[in-house]
Amino acid sequence: MVQAARGIKLLTLASWPAGVEATFLGAYRRGEATLPRIDYPQQDFSHARRELDAVAREADRDHPLGAYLIDSARSWAIAAELAESLGTEAVTAHSIRLYGRPDEALPGNGPSTREAARHFISIADELDHALLAPSEQVPISATSLWLQLQRALDDFFDGRVIEVVLDPDLISKAAAGATRIRLRAGAAFSDYDRDQLLQHEAFVHSITALNGREQPVLQSLSLASPRTTATQEGLATFAEQITGSIDIGRMKRISLRIEAVAMALDGADFIEVFRYFLNAGQTPADSFGSAQRVFRGVPTTGGHAFTKDTVYLRGLVGVHTFFRWALQQQKLHLCRWLFAGKMTLEDVIRFEPLFESGVLVQPRWLPPWIKRANGLAGMLAFSLFANRIRLDAIAHSDDFVDL
């Protein structure tokens, strides 16, 4: 399966050429903007799909590893179909199969992902910006952040295990692999960005890949397969939350992307989505980058979207709920084992006997916050209780007098 899936790198294959941004923004400033047209190289993953189908056929669904192989192989096969369809309308359907839609309900039959996104956007818009600390408003250059992150990571690993590099062609502001974190050269970052990158990219995405490589039986746990995206991004965003590294601005950016995906599916084209981000307060460069994420691999004419950004809130709610359940069931060890590789919440539950027997090894590296079991349990215990208090039952500010 690893051999078959090795070349199916969706985000790389769906990336736009570096010069498209400058061309579009220059034309937009002149009032001459037109929809970007991207020519994607034709891909043929027919051999990989046959190999993946063979893996799924031969694996034993009744064994935890067999179930994992079947689900993973089928996920990669969908990703291969998506890659072969780049630039066409078919990408949207494949993307929805992998990542879902904005109108899907959150775990626990709660509100939809889009409704949750609108909630966070409205909270962010109501924030009194006069309350922001001076340090929250001072930009940090990519070069400065590069030095700060590299020093923090070298201290954590007691050596050069992960390298931080500057990449002028990166679409997002940052991206992480097992041994390398890339920052977009020329981008401006904030105080929160620094902590978010450390907790989100390094201490989740990179660490789970590194720990997956340590598995003697299942090294495919080092691969970021599409089916693990929601749990990976949910765990990474949860890490930001529990360490106090996430700010309402970050929640708004995540939520704006979800709303933009919904707009694109409803018919908005690239320029309309770009203007949506502009009107929400993003710079032209950031607005282009955000709109580009929505239209990766799909026609820019509207009615189509690459829906990966919908997993962030859904994944966060799912992981937070899982951690609370684990505390309630006295299974917090499952939360630690999530870092042993890139897996889903379902995977870590069915892998429990394999960890206990030593077939799967426990994670070599863990972020500091999850090592401190007492602190984690304290936060989750409070969360379990606080969720029983209904804010709609506290109708007026006078109700707080007796609290």
pLDDT tens, position by position, 291-326: 999 999 999 999 999 999 999 999 998 998 898 888
Count other C-beta atoms under 10 Å from residue 47's C-beta: 10
Provide the mean pLDDT of the chain.
Answer: 89
Name the band, by pLDDT with cuts 50, 70 and 90, for residue 108: confident
Examine the pLDDT at 374 and tell me if it is beyond 90: no
Confidence of residue 96 (pLDDT cuts 50, 70, 90): very high
Find the mean pLDDT for residues 189-198: 85
The pTM assigned to this predicted structure is 0.88
Report CA dihedral (171, 167, 194, 251) to the nearest 10 degrees.
Answer: 0
Domain regions of the chain by residue span: 2-386
